[in-house]
Amino acid sequence: MVSQQPYPQSLPQLLVDDAVKTALLEDLGRAGDITTNATLPEDATARAVLSSREAGTICGMGFARAAFALIDPSLNFVALTKDGARVKPGEHIALIEGNARSILSAERVALNFLMHLSGIASYTAKFADLIAHTNAKVCDTRKTIPGMRAFAKYAVKCGGGSNHRFGLDDAVLIKDNHIAVAGGVAKAILAARAYAGHLVKIEVEVDGLDQFEEALDVNADVILLDNMGPELLEKAVKINAGRAKLEASGGIGFDTIKAVAETGVDYISTSKITMAAPTLDIGLDIVLT
């Protein structure tokens, strides 16, 4: 039986299973794995190993486990690491034993989830490492592949990052277009506070110190400092004096995040960790005994 190890702690099992099932159906099509079925005896057995071919941070073990379990519950899947763990090139991350056809038919879906999510976790970890000496947290945005947001944001957490809002419905984020139509920063914040429930946080995006001070005057919970350089960010931190949480955004890369974090902001958001992360090279090999 596939070992009953926990699924990712912050993702419901049904959510994982549903995504993996959809991916398996896409891959199997109308006739199943005709290559594997044509070349391997029905009763052939095999032992396979999942290995990371480069250094990185693992994410998606629950998805890989689900892929093999949904294809064939009799397969034995043994995880050798866990989500959030850092691995070296060549390190084994899981063993799978059982029917050879089943292993090979589930291989690609398992790897697709593992490689994509581990890529996001690994990329996030690189950003997080650069600012580990500060109190700032790197966080994601809503810029994610449609249908994959919850999984991408889980991967960000596995990489040591922090999650921003998940959608349009769990926090207020007033941006420049909202401000333009509402008639100003203060008007937009006051309108949002009158509309939203008391548990809903209100964040506003500002692009200068004048707008920043206007947001402070009406007690915004979080202020997003957009495209401000380190010098301007330091001024905002000093003026703020701990009143609101401060988030920096715009032009964030490996070459800029350290200087931004050292200004004293609380969060640094970038879409790069979910939209520009390369996949982590992970492979499945049959072990011959």
CB atoms within 10 A of CB 239: 12
The single residue of 205, 214, 247, 266 carrying the catalytic annotation is 205
- The active-site residue out of 142, 175, 187, 245 is 175
* From 47, 82, 86, 143, active-site residue: 143
> Residue 204 and residue 270: Cα distance in Å, rounded?
16
* Helix spans in the chain (H): 13-28, 34-39, 61-71, 100-130, 149-158, 176-182, 185-195, 209-217, 230-240, 257-261, 272-275
| Closest by Cα among 36, 33, 68 to 49 | 68
Q: For this structure, is 272 an active site residue?
A: no
Annotation marks residue 221 as catalytic: no
Catalytic position from the list 108, 142, 187, 235: 108
83 is annotated as an active-site residue: no
Annotation marks residue 226 as catalytic: yes
Our answer to whether residue 149 is catalytic in this structure is no
Report d(CA 186, CA 215) in Å as an integer: 6
d(CA 153, CA 159): 10
Closest Cα partner for 269 from 137, 148, 166? Answer: 137
CA distance 237 to 25: 51
C-beta atoms surrounding 14 within 10 Å = 9
**Active-site residue among 203, 226, 247, 266?**
226
d(CA 266, CA 135): 7
As given in the structure block, the two tokens for residue 80 are 């050798």
Instruction: Give catalytic residues, as residue numbers.
Output: 108, 143, 175, 205, 226
